[in-house]
Amino acid sequence: MIKKLCLLFLALATPNLSQAFCGFYVAKADASLYNQASQVAMVRKDGKTVLSLMNDYQGELKDFALVIPVPQILQKKQIHIGDAAIFKHLDDFSAPRLVEYHDDNPCQMAEMAAAPAADAAAPLMMRAGMMKSEAKKLGVKVEAEYTIGEYDIVILSAKESNGLEKWLHLSGYKIPKGAHKALKPYIKQGLKFFVAKVNLKEQIKTGSKMLRPLQFAFESPKFMLPIRLGMINAKGAQDLMLYVLTEKGRVESNNYQTLKLPSNIDIPVYIKDEFPAFYKAMFDKQVKEQNMHAVFTEYFWNMGWCDPCAAEPLNPDELKQLGVFWLDENSYAASRRGGGGVPVQITRLHVRYDNQSFPEDLVFQETGDTENFQGRYVLHHAWDGNPEMCPAAKEYFKQLAVRHEQEAKNLAELTGWNEDDIAQKMNPEKAQYIESGGKKPAKNQWWRGIWK
Amino acid sequence: MQNVKSFEKIKNTDSRLWQLLVMTSLLMIGVWLRDFSLKPEQIALTFSAGLLTQAVFLHYFQLQQRGFLSSFITCFGLCLLLRCSNLWVHPCVAILAISSKFLIRFQHSHLFNPANLGVILGLTLFPQTWVTSGQWGADLSTALWFIAAGFFVANNARRIDISAYFLCCYAALFLSIRVFWYGYSLDVFLHQFENGALLLFTFFMITDPLTIPRHRTGRAIHAALVAIFAYLWQYVFYGNQGIIWGLFFASFFVPLWNYLFPAPLYQWRTLSVGALND
C-alpha cells in the first residue's frame, strides 16, 4: 500500500547496556568498581589520533583510577578535558532510529499527519586517575606528572610488567590478578602508560559529581584501541560504543569480523513504546549468533547531514572539541552551503566482548567505503478507515493482515521473542480469537504461557 | 576397481576446476551470508572485463587452445578480495591483472599472481578501494572447512608443500616474536591463524603453480620470504593486508630461485604446455 513518511521518531540513543573501557581500573582497598557505560571517540587522520574516553564510573571518586597504554610520553598540551555534552550529541546523532509512516487512505490516497519527535540518551560519565612514583628499582619511571582539570595524571614507562604491577601495588592500588600478563606486551613494545586519578579538590571545584571525558592527542602508525587491559577486572561481557571520525571512509576492524546490524526492517507499531527493549534484544541475538566474535556497525554517515536526522549533525566547534584537527571552518561552511557532505565521516561501532572472545586489541582500517548506513527500523501505522468504503479499502485490509504477519515474523526473527507474545501485543483480542478457533476466549486461562 | 578408477579420475582432474568449484561456493556464501559489500554488477563487470581481456590476448598471441580457466580463477579472486565503492574499478583491475599474465613474463611464465597483482594495483592506483581481512571472521569451524577444501585443491595441484612452508614460517615468526617475546597469549596466535582470509591465502593464492618457484627448495625459500615480508608489513610498519603485500614483494625474487634451483615448468594436467604457459 502507499505509505508516506510522516515524521521521524527517534526512540533510542545508547541502550542501557553494561559497557566497558579500553583501560582498566585499579582500585584502592576493596572499593567496588564498575565498568558500565563507556564510550570512546576516536578521531584519526594520517597517523594522528585524538582519543576521548568517557564512561559512567559509579564508585567512590577517590578510588577511581585509569591505566591506558599510549605510544609516547604525552606533553601536558596533548591532554585535555572534554565536554560530556558532545558525547551525548554524538550518541544522539548516530543512534539507531525508529521511523514512523502512516498509510494513506487507500480510497483517496490522501496524506496523513505525523507524530512528534523525541529522543533519549543515557547520560554518561567518565573517570581517570594517577599515582606517585617511588621505585626506580622496579624499573618504573615517572616520565611526566600533570594536574589537568579534575585529574591527576602520570605518564609511566616500565621495563618489565612485574615491576609495574608491584609499583601499582606499592602505591596502594589493588591490581587485578594477572595484570602483569596483560601489561607485558605493551611494555615489550615500548608503550608508555597513562595513569589518571581524580584530584578531589579540583573535582569539587567543577561543581559536579560526574567525571568529564579525558582526551589525548598523539601520533602513531597503529590504528588500534587497547581493550585488553579493561578485561582484567571485568566480570562477564562488556560493551563498548566507539565513534570513529575520519576524513574519507567507513572504519572497520582488521582483526575481527565487522558486520552491519540488520536495518531497514518493518516491525510492529507497538515497538514505538518498547524500542530500547527491542534494540537490546536484537543486539543480544546478533551477538549470540556470531558467538561474540564480531564488531557491529551501527552507523556510518557524513557528518554534514543525515536522513532522517536523529539529531542535528555536530557543529564545527563540537567537532574541533573532539579533535577533528583537519577541519577548517571556511571549507566546512562552504561544503554545507553547497549542500554536500563535510570532510568528516562518522562510523559508530558497537562491540560486546569478553576475555575469551576478543583475545587481542581492536585494530582498525579506514576503508574507501562511502556508502551511508544507519540502523533504521520502520513502523507503519495502518489506515484507520472502513473496509466497506470502497473496493480498494477491502483489498487494503487484506494486504494489511499479510503485512502485520510479516512484521511479527521480522520482529521474532530479529529479537528471538516468541511469536505468540508478539501477536498478543500487536492485537491482543485478535490473537486470542484466532487461537480459540473463532470462539470468544474463556477467562482465567492461567495455564496460558506455561509451555510456550 | 570402480572406486580406484573414480579416485584416479578425481586425482587427474585439472585442479583449477576444483579451485573454481570452491571459489564459486565461497563467493556465494560471502555475498549471501557474510555481508560482503559486493554488488552483483561488480561481479558481472569483473568477469566480463577479465574474460574479454583473456580472449583478446589469446587471439593476439594465437593461443586459442589455452582456454579461460585461469582467468576465471583470477576474476573470482578479485571478487573475493577487492572491495570498492564504485563500479569501474573492478573491471579496470581485472583488465590489468589478466594483461599482466601476457606482458610481464620471465622464464616462460608470468611473474605475478594475477589476482594478487590486481588487488595491489586496485589498492594503490584507485581511490575508494579496500580489502576486508576480517570478512571471514576467525572461528574454528570455518577454519576447518577452509583447511579441508584448501588441502584437497592444493594437494591435487601438487603444491600443498608451499602452503605448509608458508604456514610454518608465519607461525614460527608469530610465535617467537609475539607470543614468546612480547608475551601475547596463545589465544592471540589461534585467533590470527583461524582467520579465514589467511587460510584462503595459504591454500588458494600462494599455491598458484606458475608464479611460485618450480623447485621444492625454491618454494621453501619463497614461502619464508612471503612470511617475513608479510610480518614486517603488518607488524613492523603497521600496514594492512600484510600477506597480500608479502606475496607481491616476494614475487620479484621468484626468477632468482628458479635460476638457482632449476626445475621443469609446471604443467596443468589437462592442458598441453606451449611456450606461453597460461
- For residues A296 and B228, give the distance between their C-alpha atoms in angstroms, rounded to a whole number: 32
Q: What is the pLDDT of residue A123?
A: 27
Residue A161, chain B, CB below 8 Å: the answer is: yes
Q: Kindly compute the dihedral angle of the four CA atoms of residues B40, B41, B42, B46, in this order, to the nearest 10 degrees.
A: 110
DSSP characters over A238-267: EEEEEEEEESSS-EEESSSEEEEPP-SEE-
Region A372-385 average pLDDT: 86
Q: What is the pLDDT of residue A129?
A: 35
Percent of chain A scoring above 70 in pLDDT: 76
Region A111-118 average pLDDT: 35
Q: What is the pLDDT of residue A430?
A: 57
Q: Which of the 8 DSSP states describes residue A117?
A: -
Distance from CA of A256 to the nearest CA of B (A): 5
The predicted-structure confidence for A51-74, as pLDDT tens digits, reads as follows 999 866 767 777 777 888 999 899
A389 φ, ψ (degrees, to nearest 5): -60, -40
A-B contacts at Cβ under 8 angstroms: 81
Residue B41, chain A, CB below 8 Å: the answer is: no
Distance from CA of B126 to the nearest CA of A (A): 10
| Candidate from A2-11, A179-188, A403-412, B215-224 with smallest mean pLDDT | A2-11
Q: What is the pLDDT of residue B273?
A: 38
C-alpha cell read off for B6: 573414480
Region B231-244 average pLDDT: 94
- For residues A349 and A368, give the distance between their C-alpha atoms in angstroms, rounded to a whole number: 17
CA R_g for chain A: 25
Domain definitions of chain B by residue range: 2-131, 140-260
**A445 confidence band (pLDDT: 50, 70, 90):** low
Measured over the CA atoms of residue A28, residue A31, residue A35 and residue A37, the dihedral's sign is negative
Q: What angle do CA B140, B208, B38 make, to 5 degrees?
A: 60
The reply to whether residue A221 touches residue B182, judged by beta carbons under 8 angstroms, is: no
The predicted-structure confidence for A74-99, as pLDDT tens digits, reads as follows 998 899 998 888 988 998 888 888 88
A98 φ, ψ (degrees, to nearest 5): -100, 140
The H or E element spanning position A147 is: strand A140-148
DSSP characters over A389-451: S-HHHHHHHHHHHHHHHHHHHHHHHHH---HHHHHHHH-HHHHHHHHTTTSPPPS--TTTTTT
The H or E element spanning position B172 is: helix B160-173
Angle of helix B69-81 versus helix B89-103 axis, rounded to 10? 140
The predicted-structure confidence for A180-225, as pLDDT tens digits, reads as follows 888 899 999 889 999 888 888 888 888 777 788 899 999 999 999 9
Q: Kindly compute the dihedral angle of the four CA atoms of residues B94, B96, B98, B104, in this order, to the nearest 10 degrees.
A: -160
Q: Confirm if A287 and A298 have CB atoms less than 8 A apart.
A: no
Q: What is the pLDDT of residue A438?
A: 47
Distance from CA of A339 to the nearest CA of B (A): 21
Q: Quick check: helix, strand or coil at residue A149?
A: coil
Chain A residues whose CB is inside 8 A of the B237 CB are 221
Q: What is the pLDDT of residue A233?
A: 64
B36 pLDDT exceeds 70? yes
Average pLDDT along chain B: 86
Which segment, A118-132, A230-244, B27-41, B246-260, is predicted with the most confidence on average? B246-260
A109 pLDDT exceeds 80? no
Q: What is the pLDDT of residue B2?
A: 55
**A188: nearest CA partner in chain B:** B182
Per residue in A314-331, is it b (16+ CB within 10 Å) or e — as a string?
Answer: bebebbebbbbeebeeee
How many CB atoms neighbour CB A201 within 10 A? 9
Interface test with B, best of A295, A356, A365 (most B CBs within 10 A): A365
Per residue in B49-83, is it b (16+ CB within 10 Å) or e — as a string?
Answer: bbbebbeebbeeeebeebbebbbbbbbbbbbbbbb
Nearest CB to B191 within list A221, A249, A360: A360
Region A102-110 average pLDDT: 72
Domain definitions of chain A by residue range: 3-63+72-123+217-378, 387-435
Residue A206, chain B, CB below 8 Å: the answer is: no
Nearest CB to A359 within list B84, B128, B191: B191
C-alpha cell read off for A285: 541475538
Chain A residues whose CB is inside 8 A of the B191 CB are 255, 359-360
Note the ipTM here: 0.87
The predicted-structure confidence for B129-148, as pLDDT tens digits, reads as follows 999 988 888 888 888 988 88
Q: Confirm if B207 and B162 have CB atoms less than 8 A apart.
A: yes
Bond before A308 cis per omega within 30 degrees: yes
C-alpha cell read off for A30: 576493596
Interface test with A, best of B38, B87, B126, B133 (most A CBs within 10 A): B133
Residue A369, chain B, CB below 8 Å: the answer is: yes
- By residue count, chain B amounts to 278
